Structure 1
Amino acid sequence: MITINKQPTGIVLDSDISTFEVYSNNTNCFIKLSSNIITLDRLNVPRYNANNAIVDIRFAIKNKHIVTTHLTNNVAIVNNLFDITGAFNEVNGDNIIHSKTFTPFKIMYSDKSIETIRNQLYFAGSPITLSMSSNATLSVPFFNNIKGNIAISLTDNKDHLYHFELLENLDPGYYVFYKDLSLPYSTEALKLKVKGNSEIIKPIRILKNKLNKPVNVRYRNQFGATLYCQLFADLELEEELKTKVYKDQNGSMYTAEIDSSSIISITTGYLLQSELFLITQILNSLLVEIEINGVYRSVIADTKKVTIYKNNQFMQSNKLTFKLNNYEAN
């Protein structure tokens, strides 16, 4: 007979440790976990003594392809929530001696535990504040925990309504609000308000930086959402060459091979403490693209460390380095 003493409940992140603790009084049987997820189905559960077993199901959906579906022109759902059902079985050969169903729960895709999930309406996977130019793509993700109507409004610093839409009977899930901005020069700030069972507000600074042209970045956050951001930064592109030189039988030197890679350096300028989470998300992203000459190019983060906090300093500047992916020198 099997007893489940502990199991994941509600919504858990795929990147977090999530365990089942199981008791079996039949020491002559194997314990197997069967579920609707292929990586967990028929999984052997090792016992740590004669009767008890524990299994960690972290990264059960790591290789799932996350699809984003637009519900409206400006709102998309990131299909990163998966229902988990199944049972623990006592197995002897091909025979199931006893089976115990576990309580269904959900796993939310997360490639790294940067931010935890909360059972409330909130801006998940986004810095406290954002900064961008008057012509940018605004993308703000939020998690909706209860089925119901969601009202989204975007206003400027003079309370002029820039965008409004009502989403009726919105299911619990992870969503992204997208908006291509084209603001008048007088706009200094925006306020994104999402109202459901509670109300949340995202402040957005509209910067008029005449020294640095904004660098457009597109990246995938830990929850699988594709987001856009801007860094008012100095961007430098360098070619790094590694030459392999050998001597021939006559003692003359010759070049046998030249390896080249393109290094991108971005000096972020001074970001508010509340905006630094954006840098953490970019550097930990598995998919980052930087716009160069009007084209988004895939890059690999190569930054070793960044400053995310200094006592008595409210703004931080960092130098980020990336390697251009699949780069061919012209």
Structure 2
Amino acid sequence: METSGAQTVYPPRLRPGDLVKIVSPACPPSRDGIDRGVEVMRSWGLRVEVGVHVFDSWGYMAGTDADRLADLNEAFRDPQVRAIVTSRGGKGTYRIIGGLDFDAIAADPKPVVGFSDVTHLHLALWARCRVTGVHGPFANWSDDWSGPDSAEALRRALMTTDPVVLHRDPHEATAAVQVDGVAEGPLVGGNLDAIRTTVGAGLPSLAGAILFLEHQKGTGLGEVDRALTQMMGSGQLDGLHGVVLGQFLGFEDIADDPTQGGWHITDILRDRLTRLDVPVLGGIPAGHGFHPPTIPLGPPATIDTTAGTLTVASAVK
């Protein structure tokens, strides 16, 4: 059940010599990518282990549900493991959420890193245990996609208690979506499709929160419209304090499609979100794009649309 109103739980920050476990709750990574990810984290003075089933294959997922869940619960239960970094997203995390050992998670909280399909895991940890998480790069590391700035941002998020400040990027499509104001509240969210599919199945209360949304194009504008309309109609967004929009990628050619009536992704976002009557800050360069920042999920956050900033407290203590 959801721990509505419970106190936020901050896992301890990592220190040199701490053990990090890589797991695959969704799809399998490449061996070269994991080798590079291990190398990056070891350069920070951390020890790194790779879960038994990380490279397994079962359909499009990294092994059976039971095996993926076993790796994840083993990492949560092992007192030597001080952080969990997911290997990649894709599909499948939603299938194993119900089997998580929430008692072990609450007894020994540790930061979980990932995004995209791993949003399901972040939402479950917040709803059931109020444990903060880290929206950050996967262990399936690519220097071309992530790079040194992404690596340093992740290191600081895991190994320091510095706040994270992100600025609106006018080159992001969602920068054109704004409702003026300042809002405060815990930052909750991630991938829009993952959040939408959690409505009615464990999505935590968003009352008093700031909702972070990012998305990668699948079937078109309609999927974003349906997702936001479903969330609004469910009452899940009642009491929301504000919205932060990250990257909504793959919609660049929509305006030239005659079947869309001249609408772009910004038209859908503006039409739906302005009805909430809360501050909306678009243009935060976070999501499925290159050189991703790291964003704490769960700690207090502030959005200021005039300054164009999102400020989030550390996810670790």
| TM-score w.r.t. length of structure 1 | 0.23
Bigger fraction of residues in strand: 1
Bigger fraction of residues in helix: 2
Query: Highest CA radius of gyration, 1 or 2?
Result: 1
| Greater relative contact order (Cα < 8 A, sep 6+) | 2
